[in-house]
Amino acid sequence: MLIDSSELQYLQSRNRDEVGRCFSWKGKILRAIYPEHSDFVKSLFDSGFVQELIDKNVFVESQIADYKIEGFDLVVEHKKIWPVLYPQEWTFAMLKDAAITTLTVAKIAKKYGLNMKDCHGLNILFDNTTPKFIDLGSFFSNDDQINGWFPFREFLRFYYYPLQLWGKGHSYVSKLSIFSGNLMPPSEYYLYIYPFYRYLNLDTIDKIIKLIQSLSALANMNRSKLLKLSNVIVRNAALFTKYLIAKGKIKPLSCNLDKLSNKIKGLKEKTRYTVWGEYHTGISKKERRFERIIELINDLGGIETAVDIGGNAGKFSNLILEKTPIKRVVCIDPDENSISRGYNRIKDLGKEGITFANYDFMGPIVKLSFEKPNDRFKSDIAVALALTHHLILFHGYLIDNIFEEIKSYARKYVFIEFMPLGLWVTGAEVNVPDWYNIAWFRQAFANHFTIMHEEKIAENNVIFVGKVGS
């Protein structure tokens, strides 16, 4: 079947892939392969390589399709993964799992005589709680005497360095360093880990790092490049060292992916106490309130997806999946401890249908060329429970801005709780401003949504159900 090129939607704002291009077409994800690379891509399927990756659950389900696109010789169809998470929305556990998946892909590739061009986190998508490699164009035939894993240094900068720092408590710096594919400079990593380097200038530090990584760099250089070295002594020393690496007499880390994988698996996160980290561990008393909201969701029809904003560890997200026809839920929360707890629990249970994202929906970290979270996570319903009072009374957000942000995540309906007693706990004195009352909230809600239902469901919880649009 020939696809009209005008119907294709490019999925990349820029194209660095020399193998092909990715498109969206009628809900399908297609990768069109350039003529000069079609035989190689066919060999990836014919050899059993792609199927082994799929069987090991580390690569997105893919197959050669019958479609034709002008200018390309081959079309591969990939399973569509929704939603798309970017690395800055991952937790430590997610980054660690993505690193292990990437190394598993690399080890399988080596078995088939393949190497990889790159390994950054934008080549990983989370299918529920399972990280999967998605870049078919990353592989190349390892026929140029490259002994090590080619993207080793990129792996250090994207995965190993941030994980090491994150594990030592530097979560803020680590998360920023993986922002949309940006890489941590080796010198900055060494300055953090080894304080004595701070007495040296940056040029000296760079030279030391090059020396430390020289064996891995040498393993990843092809012999033809070494033969062009003008200095005879340096050339012969490099060729002899490379010979020893090829024979396994010297084994730098770039040639020992099992050792590197074990290093990653051994990394532990140093967690700190957060106010909301344990919130869902003692929420059983609130389950009746949750049950009533579930009943209200079930009164609606045509609902398949939901986003749980401020969903903590995903308790309500779980209830949505278990007790409604909704098939997919995105649970987002700025508290890493909460998201990590939910992610690890769902992963251990092997449960599907929930994706966890760690970021602040009122102030997400975004890159201009990338799709925003509210577009990527937009769902049939948006849920915001026991949230608005914190944003209004503690953080000082305007209620209209809050409603606009929540609305941007919803296609059809919103479920938003009002807490009339404010930041109140049982037995404490109620202390809220005079303007903070249910009439004020109701009017603001009506300015943004069509009110479908309003009900007091607990002592300090009033649920508002609204329709988005006219």
User: Which one, of 326, 339, 410, 398, lies nearest residue 374 by Cα?
Assistant: 410
- Spell out the CATH class of 5-78: alpha beta
Q: What per-residue string of b and e applies to 112-127 under the rule 16 or more CB within 10 Å gives b?
A: bebbbbbbbbbbbbbb
The length of the chain, given as a count of residues? 470
Question: Hey, what CATH topology would domain 283-468 get?
Answer: Rossmann fold (3.40.50)
3-state SS, residue 91: coil
270 membership: H or E segment, kind and range: none
Distance of alpha carbon 414 from alpha carbon 420, whole angstroms? 19
pLDDT of 116 reads 96
- Tokens 């608005």: give the residue: 388
pLDDT of 286 reads 53
Q: From the DSSP assignment, how many helices (H) and strands (E) are in the chain?
A: 19, 18
Report DSSP state, residue 307: E
Q: What is the phi/psi pair of residue 182, to 5°?
A: -65, 150
DSSP characters for 345-364? HHHHHT--SEEEEES-TTS-
pLDDT of 14 reads 63
pLDDT of 285 reads 42
Distance of alpha carbon 128 from alpha carbon 354, whole angstroms? 5
Distance of alpha carbon 30 from alpha carbon 308, whole angstroms? 30
pTM over 0.95: no
Whole-angstrom CA distances from 72 to 6, 76, 211, 215, 237 are 15, 11, 44, 40, 45
Q: Where are the alpha helices (DSSP H) in 112-228?
A: 152-155, 161-167, 171-177, 186-193, 202-212, 214-219, 223-226
User: Which one, of 375, 369, 453, 370, lies nearest residue 411 by Cα?
Assistant: 375
3-state SS, residue 240: helix
Query: How many C-beta atoms surround the C-beta of residue 9 within 10 A?
Result: 9
Distance of alpha carbon 275 from alpha carbon 333, whole angstroms? 13
Distance of alpha carbon 429 from alpha carbon 423, whole angstroms? 10
Are 35 and 72 in contact by the 8 Å Cβ rule? The answer is: yes
Contacting residues for 73 by C-beta, under 8 A, at least 6 apart: 33, 34, 35, 38
User: Which one, of 54, 250, 259, lies nearest residue 155 by Cα?
Assistant: 259
Per-residue tens of pLDDT for the chain, all 470 residues: 889 888 999 887 666 789 999 999 999 999 999 999 999 999 999 999 999 999 999 999 999 999 999 999 999 999 999 999 999 999 999 999 999 999 999 999 999 999 999 999 999 999 999 999 999 999 999 876 788 999 999 999 999 999 999 998 888 888 888 885 668 889 989 888 888 988 999 899 999 988 888 888 878 887 777 888 888 877 788 778 877 877 777 778 888 999 999 999 999 988 766 665 566 665 554 578 999 999 999 999 999 999 999 999 999 999 999 999 999 999 999 999 999 999 999 999 999 999 999 999 999 988 888 899 999 999 999 999 999 999 999 999 999 999 999 999 999 999 999 999 998 777 778 789 999 999 999 999 999 999 999 999 999 999 999 999 86
pLDDT of 143 reads 73
Contacting residues for 201 by C-beta, under 8 A, at least 6 apart: none
pLDDT of 422 reads 92
Pairing between strand 410-418 and 379-384?
A: parallel
User: Which one, of 242, 213, 209, 244, lies nearest residue 225 by Cα?
Assistant: 242
Q: Quote the Cα angle for 127-128-133, to 5°.
A: 25
